[in-house]
Amino acid sequence: MTKLYQSCLKPFLFKHEPEAIHHKTLSALSWLAQSPALCDLTREILKAPALPVTAFGIEFNNPVGLAAGMDKNGIAIPAWEALGFGFCEIGGVTQHPQPGNPQPRLFRAPEEEAIINRMGFNNLGADAILQRLKQSRAKKRAPVGVNLGKSKRTDLADAHLDFTYSFKKLWAYGDFFVINVSSPNTPGLRALQDKASLQTILQSLNEANQACAQEINCKATPKPLFVKIAPDLTLSAVDDVIELAIDSQLSGMVATNTTISRPKLNSSKAPAAYLETGGLSGKPLQAKSTEIIRHIANQTDGKLTIIGVGGIDDPRSAWEKITAGATLLQLYSGLVFKGPEIISSIIQGLANQLEHNHFKSLNDAVGSNAPFTPDKGNE
Ligand SMILES: Cc1cc2nc3c(=O)[nH]c(=O)nc-3n(C[C@H](O)[C@H](O)[C@H](O)COP(=O)(O)O)c2cc1C
């Protein structure tokens, strides 16, 4: 399948404008998602191995998830699981529907396996996305996270209201929620990572979380909440977020979003896409996001679950994030450059590493700093 993707599909897809291809691929997956029989067939062909992991009270069939931003409106949820993902994160969802930034706003740097985007939370808004989530509920077989953003038209001072509106709307349909204060493409959003602003948002969401749980029945538990941070924060700013996350009893952190920096490349000349404004994802983000994961893990000693994301594109980069302290992983750019087979190859590669290092389960390997042992199947 990798060969098929690399030799046939990718050259065809990469001839076209990135956003047009993104929408076409997503439409195809949304069509696939409608048919349980086709989902079964896809699952059978791609054969992702199981590698169970437990995190924040939820069991995942494997730790590899789809990162936010690929399925902003939640139109293809059953298809992600059929491709082999252990979970997906839909969104960013905002209170109000919005078109996002003007096109073009999505750029590839194929040689560097990087993407630059300035999408700007283009999405149908929480009310419409609620309908999508309701429709796919019966077909859903893996946990679904919901990424919450802020509408462009909402003042920063009212950000907590925007987040809370979407959270309450979608509360019953998400297995966990991610507060995204780290997208570089909504003016001022990243300032919400600042302690005082974030505290207001977390307090509002915590109150809503309790209220929604009470409404269902008095024994219902609140939903796991995460905060997603930018890789561009200083470590002391990361520490502020960590402190707040622990004080607010969040389940964990998602590290990281895209970077506004343009990490140095081995090639002498930077690709044209590097000149575009926006967040960079993919291979050049890999080391930075792992560094942030390691820092969070060192500072928190297991008090927060870390979802590691940024440049994961093979078993080695996945293992590095697990052993740095991430319990779950997500990817976006790796899927674009390597195709769906990347999912099973990472899961199998992680399973091989567990065996090499004599770990009984993936949970045992989290934060272990165990080295990667190359083997025939995963290099
Ligand atoms: C086109 C695009 C849109 C994205 N949209 C969102 C988003 O809405 N919310 C969010 O938290 N992250 C968003 N992201 C960031 C990804 O979830 C992820 O954190 C980042 O791409 C790094 O992972 P990767 O290197 O595997 O791509 C987006 C990324 C891309 C490439």
- Give pLDDT, residue 2: 55
Give the number of residues written for the chain.
379
Count other C-beta atoms under 10 Å from residue 56's C-beta: 19
Ligand 1 residue neighbourhood (C-beta within 6 Å):
67-69, 72, 91-92, 106, 115, 117, 119, 121, 147, 149, 180, 183, 228, 257-258, 281-282, 285, 309-312, 331-334
Distance (Å, whole) CA 265 – CA 8: 28
Q: What is the pLDDT of residues 271-314, one digit of tens each?
A: 999 999 999 999 999 999 999 999 999 999 999 999 999 999 99
> What number does the ligand 1 atom closest to the CA of 336 have?
27
pLDDT above 50 (res 378): no
Residues in contact with 148: Cβ distance below 8 Å, sequence separation at least 6, in sequence order: 91, 92, 93, 94, 163, 166, 167, 177, 178, 179, 180
Distance 145 CA to ligand 1 centre (A): 14
Predicted TM-score (pTM) of the model is 0.97
For the chain, domain boundaries: 2-365
Say if CB 88 and CB 80 are below 8 A apart. Answer: yes
Q: Does domain 2-365 have CATH number 3.40.50.300?
A: no
Distance 158 CA to ligand 1 centre (A): 24
Q: What is the pLDDT of residues 37-81, one digit of tens each?
A: 999 999 999 999 999 999 999 999 999 999 999 999 999 999 999
Q: What is the pLDDT of residues 96-124, one digit of tens each?
A: 999 999 999 999 999 999 999 999 999 99
